[in-house]
């Protein structure tokens, strides 16, 4: 592998992003090909029970992956439990604390407008609400939850969760949406020895990325088709976060281009195109 190829891969995958305690930003436009998306993790426990930050010019979404955390946004307070989401406007002061352990994923993107703070409870992201559905077919069955999408007023961010059936593909058939949206996947809830294989490519003969992915890995998709697959007997589970290139105008979930070779497969949707 050439030095140039190794450098390119270093900018498309970030390993073990959940390893450090406290608040740490792993991905930003400064260290990656992302134009808008920032991603970090807030890991709190008895040795590091709190983290404070300012959103600045970025709208921010927190997704609780484990434990329980109290979040204060300016003068408002919220309690986040697993898979609850909190949308935080730009120009906000944020304080996060936990009496025990807590694990939160943080996504952000710069915006011009200030949108209202909004809490999304996991219990409200249901089949009945149209924000959760199963999709795919034999070998590609998965469940999709849309935590911060059409249910939240925002400028750029779209965030949700996909969980496959064991040994199944997701993001299938392969599709891309680079004209409107950049994206990243963050793998979580995949205890050892579970792993998956992630591809990112514009041409299957010369893929930009083919790599093993495990719990805590973040994969960037600034462009290209991006299917993945779990190993037999284990599922893959990941957060997907997208940022619209044009604020509001491009913030559309499900506007995709399917790889022409697989266009006959169909996306097998349940109200919205699946990730």
- Tell me whether residue 257 is in a domain: no
Residue 127 parent element (H or E) = none
Tokens of 10: 């270093």
pLDDT at 205 over 60: yes
pLDDT tens, position by position, 66-102: 999 999 999 999 999 999 999 999 999 999 999 999 9
pLDDT at 131 over 70: yes
- Tell me whether residue 268 is in a domain: no
* Total number of domains in the chain: 1
Compare 269 and 258 and report the one with higher pLDDT.
Answer: 258
Q: Render the burial of 121-140: b for 16+ CB within 10 Å, e for the rest.
A: ebeebeeeeebbbebbeeeb
Domain, as residue range, for 35: 3-251
- Tell me whether residue 259 is in a domain: no
Return the pLDDT at 253: 93
| DSSP letter (8 states) at residue 64 | E
- Tell me whether residue 271 is in a domain: no
- Tell me whether residue 152 is in a domain: yes
CB 240 within 8 A of CB 161: yes
Q: How confident is the model at residue 273 (pLDDT cuts 50, 70, 90)?
A: very low
Q: How confident is the model at residue 167 (pLDDT cuts 50, 70, 90)?
A: very high
Q: How confident is the model at residue 216 (pLDDT cuts 50, 70, 90)?
A: very high
pLDDT tens, position by position, 228-256: 999 999 999 999 999 999 999 999 998 99
Q: How confident is the model at residue 128 (pLDDT cuts 50, 70, 90)?
A: confident
Q: Which residues pair with 221 in a beta bridge?
A: 183
- Tell me whether residue 274 is in a domain: no
Q: Residue 70: phi, psi to the nearest 5?
A: -100, 130
pLDDT tens, position by position, 37-75: 999 999 999 999 999 999 999 999 999 999 999 999 999
pLDDT at 6 over 50: no
Return the pLDDT at 267: 59
CATH number of the domain bearing residue 162: 2.60.120.10
Q: Which is nearest to 165 in space by CA: 191, 199, 136?
A: 136
- Tell me whether residue 260 is in a domain: no
Return the pLDDT at 8: 45
- Tell me whether residue 275 is in a domain: no
């Amino acid at each position: 592998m050439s030095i140039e190829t190794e450098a390119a891969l270093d900018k498309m995958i970030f390993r073990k992003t959940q390893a450090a305690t406290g608040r740490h930003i792993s991905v930003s436009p400064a260290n990656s090909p992302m134009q808008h998306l920032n991603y970090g993790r807030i890991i709190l426990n008895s040795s590091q029970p709190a983290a404070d930050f300012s959103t600045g010019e970025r709208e921010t979404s927190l997704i609780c992956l484990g434990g329980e955390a109290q979040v204060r946004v300016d003068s408002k307070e919220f309690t986040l439990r697993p898979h609850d989401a909190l949308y935080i406007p730009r120009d906000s002061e944020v304080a996060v604390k936990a009496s025990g352990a807590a694990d939160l994923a943080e996504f952000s993107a710069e915006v011009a407008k200030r949108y209202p703070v909004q809490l999304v409870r996991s219990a409200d992201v249901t089949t009945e609400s149209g924000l959760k559905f199963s999709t795919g077919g034999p070998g590609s069955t998965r469940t999709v939850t849309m935590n911060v999408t059409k249910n939240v007023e925002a400028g750029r961010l779209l965030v949700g969760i996909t969980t496959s059936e064991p040994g199944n593909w997701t993001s299938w058939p392969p599709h891309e949406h680079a004209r409107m949206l950049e994206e990243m996947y963050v793998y979580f809830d995949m205890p050892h020895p579970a792993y998956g294989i992630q591809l990112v490519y514009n041409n299957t003969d010369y893929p930009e990325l083919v790599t093993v992915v495990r719990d805590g890995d973040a994969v960037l998709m600034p462009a290209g088709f991006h299917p993945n697959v779990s190993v037999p007997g284990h599922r893959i589970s990941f957060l997907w976060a997208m940022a619209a290139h044009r604020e509001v105008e491009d913030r559309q979930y499900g506007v995709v281009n399917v790889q022409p070779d697989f266009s006959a497969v169909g996306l097998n949707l349940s109200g919205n195109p699946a990730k």
